[in-house]
Amino acid sequence: MNMPLNTSANISDPIEQARYNMIEQQIRPWNVLDADVLELLAVVHREDFVPPACRSMAFMDIEIPLLGTNAEEAVRLGHSMLQPRIEARILQDVKILPTDRVLEIGAGSGYMAALLAHRAQSVVSLEILPALAEMAQDNLQRAGVTNAHVRVSDGSRDAVPEGPFDVIVLSGSVAEIPKHLLSMLRDGGRLAAIVGQEPVMRFTLVRRTGDRFDTTSPWDTVAPRLVGFAEPSGFSF
């Protein structure tokens, strides 16, 4: 039986109460039941990875804008954090091991990189926008995360010399998974991405076994596009 993560949450502390409510009311009901993942969400403070102006929204079930003041525009341009339940479900399903070397595409604020780094050996996080890359690296340093590093790079096309990787996580949606990312997986590695078009996209998990790539798509969602990844032409023959 899965019991609540922290039945003794300090209700006198509004931040801790909001964190507890996020975990118990948003994340756990979304089939995130891994006790280690739930505990990690209490350890890595999400509010430290959002812009100061959005701190009050840190635990809400929304996509938080990271650049600019127009939330809808930030989401449209891919300048936003994913919803907490999506981040948690990805983290649970990709099953990070302590020996894993991880590549993240789309650093954003650095929050997902921090979660990954707490479970993995090392994390390389690529961010195409210099302003977000700087934000993510600064947030990671302030949080004391030393095994995750952010680099300005276009994850849709650039080579990554640290590869191959045990895990690749795309922190945003794509129309399809680029083949060059699959080639960066080690044998036995996993790639996690949200794939498809609105109104329904699929979380897709790819596992590499030799030259074979096995794909499962266990749940539906919608997420902002990662910047730089190609869209389908819209023509069919």
Res 237 pLDDT > 80: no
Percent of the chain with pLDDT over 90: 83
- Determine the structural domain holding residue 138 and report its residue range: 14-221
CA within 13 Å, CB half, 13? 7
CA distance 204 to 187: 18
**Residue whose tokens read 């596009």:** 225
CA within 13 Å, CB half, 20? 14
Residue 232 covered by a domain: no
Per-residue confidence (pLDDT) for residue 71, from 0 to 100: 77
CA distance 204 to 214: 10
Residue 85 covered by a domain: yes
Res 2 pLDDT > 90: no
Asked if 181 and 226 count as a contact pair (C-beta separation under 8 A), the reply is: no
Asked if 140 and 150 count as a contact pair (C-beta separation under 8 A), the reply is: yes
Using DSSP's 3-state secondary structure scheme, residue 164 falls into coil
- Number of C-beta neighbours around residue 152 at 10 A: 16
CA distance 55 to 63: 13
Confidence of residue 75 (pLDDT cuts 50, 70, 90): confident
Find all residues with CB under 8 Å of 112, minimum gap 6, and list them.
82, 87, 90, 91, 104, 125, 169, 171
Q: What is the rounded radius of gyration, in angstroms, for the C-alpha atoms of the chain?
A: 17
Give the residue-averaged pLDDT of 95-105: 98
CA distance 225 to 120: 25
Per-residue confidence (pLDDT) for residue 9, from 0 to 100: 57
CA distance 208 to 199: 29
Domain CATH code at residue 72: 3.40.50.150
Residue 8 covered by a domain: no
Q: How many domains does the chain have?
A: 1
Positive or negative, the Cα torsion across 141, 54, 15, 6? negative
Res 95 pLDDT > 70: yes
Res 1 pLDDT > 50: no
Res 4 pLDDT > 70: no
Res 116 pLDDT > 50: yes
Per-residue confidence (pLDDT) for residue 178, from 0 to 100: 87
Residue 3 covered by a domain: no
pLDDT digits (tens, 9 = 90+) for 120-178: 999 999 999 999 999 999 999 999 999 999 999 999 999 999 999 999 999 999 999 98
pLDDT digits (tens, 9 = 90+) for 181-216: 999 999 999 999 999 999 999 999 999 999 999 999
